[in-house]
């Protein structure tokens, strides 16, 4: 009993240290809207380059790699076991803990891509080069998240999931999990699926539903994943084979459709070049004539989808013109950093008006369209692009139903006169909005 009490006292004395270790309590947000948000303690892990603080623990001193292992074999045996299985441990000159974390226990660091780049400069260079392609991009993913109005504005508990995936830009262990940092692991679809699953990017479902994915599900367990992602090494392609051919860490080098959230010209010079890269890839296994046919069908699917989406956008813009989007933009809280919305409240319809940040605080019919545009549309696109036509068709059926429902609702909104209720005070000063402003 006395011993238990003793431990309790020690624990009570230590807990402030545990809380304060890591993220600096005064840490501010990053990016365009840095003034509007503060990071969570977990952000230390998502963006170690910016937020990691050396642990202010009791252990002091400078240690060699061997000394680290002596203690950590006991304290964190899992990590050490993982590391012993890695190529870092098996190299002629093993890469020991201090190489990445530093050797002073009071100044430990979490590795960033730049840390890994000291030994893997080509990979780091490829990843950095990806920034030249613009969005979408692994290398720009962190900025893309924190520079979103909805990310900065929402209570951090509500956007807790964003950075887990968007941190792919700021650390390497999103795909090469610590401490094995295995290339073979990252070649498997599971490495991608951690993030690339579910709406709005059902990459896992669509891939597994395709013939490629079925081949992987049937035989993938028997393949030798230590082989490089080169022609002839794998019987069917997986995510990384197509998107990171030969291990190219410039994942966006063939991104033609820009994530599917806006219409692009598939025949632009840039996209012709990217398509050529795809066709060369398809020709690793298929006759050269098959690729172009496949892509023409994808083009047709995309163009059909945009006909549908633009139809809804016209409908919504009509309602906007008649003032039938209720509550209107003036009656709902704008994002605090959106000076334009304060100056000129306007419902954002379509990609080019900034619909991407219209997740929240919009009228029901706008949100319905957001769902079609962001979730159903992308499902239909991914289904087609990953060779799962059946899924694409299903998403299109869903899209048609949603579009019809929006049409019916639009008709109803047109015919009813707007209610005279005090929507403005309800939305602008509601409990949720107040909370939101205090907790971001």
Partner 1 sequence: MNPTVSTPSRRIIPIRLMPADQQRSLAGRYAWWVKMLAWIFFAWAFLGWLNDAWLYRFGTPLWLNRYTEPVIILLFGIWRIMAEKNAYTRRRLIFLVANVTVLWWLIPWGHPFIEPHAGYLAGLPAFPSLHSPGTLTFFLVLAAVFLFGRRIICGWNCPCVGIREVVGFPFRHTDHVPRSAWAWRLRHLKWFWFALYLGAMWAMTRPANNITSGYLGFFAMMVVLPYFATMLLSPWIGNRGYCRYLCPYGATFGLLNRVGMFRIDYRADLCIQCGKCEKVCDMAIPVWRMGAANQGRVDTTECMGCGRCITECPTGSLAFHDARNLVFPALRQDREHLLQRSDFSRTAVRWRTAGFFLLLAVVLGGAVYYSSQVGTWGELPTRLGAICGLPLITW
Distance CA(111)–CA(48), nearest Å, equals 7
Q: Rounded to an integer, what is the distance from CA 124 to the centroid of its chain?
A: 19
Q: What is the DSSP letter of 104?
A: B
Residues 119-178 that bind partner 1 (CB under 8 A): 122, 125-126, 129, 131-135, 137, 139-140, 143, 147
Asked if 342 interacts with partner 1 (CB under 8 A), we say no
Among 248, 305, 392, 402, binds partner 1 (CB under 8 A): 248
- 246 is a site residue for partner 1 (CB under 8 A): yes
Which one, 245 or 382, has the nearer CB to partner 1? 245
For partner 1, the closer of residues 137 and 377 by Cβ is: 137
By the 8 A CB rule, do 175 and 191 touch? yes
CB of 350 to partner 1, least distance (A): 13
Closer residue to partner 1 in complex, CB, 268/416 = 268
Closest approach, Cβ 229 to partner 1, in A, equals 10
Part of the chain binding partner 1 (CB under 8 A), chosen from 59-67, 246-254, 398-406, 430-438: 246-254
Residue with Cβ nearer partner 1 (303 or 322): 303
Does 203 interact with partner 1 (rule: CB under 8 A)?
no
- Shortest distance (Å) from residue 351 CB to partner 1: 11
Long-range contacts of 11-19 (CB under 8 A, 24+ apart): 17/56, 17/57
Cβ–Cβ < 8 Å for 55, 48 = no
DSSP codes, 138-166? STTHHHHHHTSHHHHHS-TTTTTTHHHHH
Nearer to partner 1, 182 or 368 (CB): 182
What is the smallest separation between the CB atom of 281 and partner 1, expressed in angstroms?
A: 9
Q: Taking CB under 8 A as the rule, does residue 37 contact partner 1?
A: no
Cα 379 to Cα 295: distance, rounded to the nearest angstrom: 17
**Shortest CB 15 distance to partner 1, Å:** 39
Task: State the minimum distance, in angstroms, from the CB of residue 98 to partner 1.
Answer: 27
Query: How far apart are alpha carbons 202 and 384 in whole angstroms?
Result: 11
Minimal distance, residue 87 CB to partner 1, in Å:
16
Is 247 a binder of partner 1 (CB under 8 A)? yes
Opening angle at CA 358, ends 355 and 359, nearest 5: 130
Q: Where are the alpha helices (DSSP H) in 263-388?
A: 269-282, 290-321, 339-343, 364-371, 377-385
Query: Least distance (Å) from partner 1 to the CB of residue 16?
Result: 38
- What are the backbone dihedrals phi and psi of residue 274, each rounded to the nearest 5 degrees, phi first? -65, -40
Q: Binders of partner 1: how many residues, by CB under 8 A?
A: 34
Shortest gap between Cβ of 271 and partner 1 (angstroms)? 9
φ/ψ of 308, rounded to 5, equals -65, -50
For residue 177, what are the CA distances in angstroms to 41, 79, 86?
20, 11, 11
Cα-to-chain-centroid distance, residue 336: 24
Region 259-318 residues binding partner 1, contact defined as CB under 8 A: 263, 265, 267-270, 272-273, 276-277, 280, 303
Whether 148 and 158 have beta carbons less than 8 Å apart is answered as no
**Bridge partner residues of 62 (DSSP):** 104
Q: Which residues bind partner 1 (CB under 8 A)?
A: 31-32, 122, 125-126, 129, 131-135, 137, 139-140, 143, 147, 245-248, 250, 253, 263, 265, 267-270, 272-273, 276-277, 280, 303
């Amino acid at each position: 009993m006395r011993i238990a009490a003793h431990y309790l006292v020690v624990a009570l004395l230590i807990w402030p240290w545990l809380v304060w270790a890591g993220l600096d309590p005064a840490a501010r947000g990053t990016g365009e809207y840095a003034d509007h948000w503060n990071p969570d303690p977990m952000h230390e892990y998502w963006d170690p380059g910016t937020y990691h603080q050396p642990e202010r623990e009791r252990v002091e001193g400078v240690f060699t790699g061997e000394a680290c292992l002596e203690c950590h074999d006991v304290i964190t045996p899992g990590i050490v076991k993982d590391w012993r299985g890695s190529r870092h441990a098996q190299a002629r000159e093993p890469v020991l803990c201090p190489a990445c974390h530093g050797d002073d226990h009071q100044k430990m660091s979490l590795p960033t891509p730049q840390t890994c780049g000291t030994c893997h400069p080509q990979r780091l260079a490829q990843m950095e080069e990806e920034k030249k392609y613009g969005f979408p991009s692994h290398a720009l993913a962190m900025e893309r998240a924190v520079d979103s109005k909805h990310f900065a504005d929402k209570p951090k508990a509500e956007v807790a999931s964003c950075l887990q995936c968007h941190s792919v830009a700021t650390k390497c262990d999103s795909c090469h999990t610590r401490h094995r940092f295995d290339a073979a692991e990252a070649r498997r679809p599971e490495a991608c699926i951690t993030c690339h699953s579910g709406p709005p990017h059902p990459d896992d479902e669509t891939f597994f539903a395709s013939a490629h994915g079925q081949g992987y599900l049937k035989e993938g367990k028997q393949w030798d994943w230590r082989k490089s992602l080169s022609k002839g090494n794998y019987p069917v392609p997986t995510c990384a084979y197509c998107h990171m051919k030969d291990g190219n860490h410039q994942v966006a080098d063939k991104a033609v459709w820009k994530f599917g959230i806006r219409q692009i010209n598939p025949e632009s010079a840039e996209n012709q070049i990217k398509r050529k890269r795809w066709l060369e890839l398809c020709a690793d296994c298929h006759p050269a004539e098959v690729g172009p046919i496949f892509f023409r069908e994808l083009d047709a699917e995309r163009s059909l989808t945009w006909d549908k989406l633009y139809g809804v956008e016209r409908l919504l813009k009509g309602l906007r013109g008649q003032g039938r989007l209720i509550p209107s933009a003036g009656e709902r809280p704008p994002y605090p950093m959106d000076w334009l919305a304060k100056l000129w409240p306007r419902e954002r319809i379509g990609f080019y008006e900034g619909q991407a940040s219209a997740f929240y605080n919009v009228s029901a019919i706008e949100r319905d369209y957001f769902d079609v545009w962001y979730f159903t549309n992308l499902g239909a696109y991914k289904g087609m692009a990953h060779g799962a036509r059946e899924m694409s068709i299903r998403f299109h059926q869903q899209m048609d139903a949603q579009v019809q429902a929006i049409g019916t609702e639009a008709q109803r909104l047109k015919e009813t006169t707007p209610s005279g209720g005090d929507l403005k005070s309800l939305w602008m000063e509601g409990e949720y909005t107040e909370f939101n402003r205090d907790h971001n």
